[in-house]
Amino acid sequence: MKKDDSMTEREERRDTDHYIAQDGSFWGVREAVPADLNDLVTLDDITKPVPWGRDAIAGFIGCVPGVFVLYPSNRAGMTLGGPVGFVIARWLGDECEIMSIGVHPQYRRRGLGRMLMETVRRTTLAHGKTSWILEVREYNTPALSLYKSIGFLEVGKRRDYYIDTGEAAILMRGDTTNGDPQ
């Protein structure tokens, strides 16, 4: 995944992070707006074993850091389609907490989850916070692998945390000053 910095000065791209995936495809990550809510609810339904639902997601739109959506774009940074991924985060004291992340199954393993996390990392650092945290199901291998691949470390475990499966929650913490090497 490469951050496309050549695009940052163009007016229409303000507040959007642009990325190039390893397969050469272009993607944008921007703050969600109320008009994204239907797409977010659909993605939440598709990607999460226990969806948050419309009201919970709506409550975070407009917050800082809040909700970010990822969508396909062209080389010039123009939007080519609706959101295929999202991330929801909040401040927790001096830290940022990743609360939810999802990428549509058809678009996984292209680096899009990492792009969403990178935008949250940059936002967190821009607010002077150097630590981010999250909890993840113990058998959620894709998510655990994603978080470890960007430097999160396991710092604790809550047994029998998830009611639907009885899985433990793995608590993880990362350093937001450790950016993507690309």
With respect to ligand COA, which residue has the nearer C-beta, 10 or 142? 142
Query: Does the annotation mark 167 as catalytic?
Result: no
| 165 Cβ contact partners less than 8 Å away, ≥ 6 residues apart | 49, 137, 139
State the minimum distance, in angstroms, from the CB of residue 108 to ligand COA.
3
**Does position 8 bind ligand COA by CB under 6 A?**
no
61 interacts with ligand COA by CB under 6 A: no
109 near ligand COA, rule: CB under 6 A? yes
Angle (CA) 141-53-100 rounded to 5° is 35
135 is catalytic: yes
Helices (H) and strands (E) in the chain, counts: 4, 9
Count CA atoms within 13 Å of residue 112 on its CB side: 26
CA pair distance 165, 182, nearest whole angstrom: 37
What are the two backbone dihedrals, phi and then psi, of residue 152, each rounded to the nearest 5 degrees? -70, 145
**141 scored as a contact of ligand COA (CB under 6 A):** yes
Whole-angstrom Cα distance, residue 97 to residue 130? Answer: 12
Query: At 80, phi and psi to the nearest 5?
Result: -110, -5
CA distance 41 to 140: 21
146 binds ligand COA (CB under 6 A): yes
Q: Which of 42, 79, 130, 140 lies at the binding interface for ligand COA (CB under 6 A)?
A: 140
Q: How far is the CB of 115 from ligand COA (least distance, A)?
A: 7
Nearest residue to ligand COA, by Cβ distance, number only: 113
Catalytic residue among 107, 135, 161, 162: 135
Our finding on whether 14 is near ligand COA (CB under 6 A) is no
**Does residue 47 bind ligand COA (CB under 6 A)?**
yes
Segment near ligand COA (CB under 6 A); pick from 2-10, 28-36, 135-143, 164-172: 135-143
Output the smallest distance, CB 21 to ligand COA, in A: 9
Q: Which residues are catalytic?
A: 135, 147
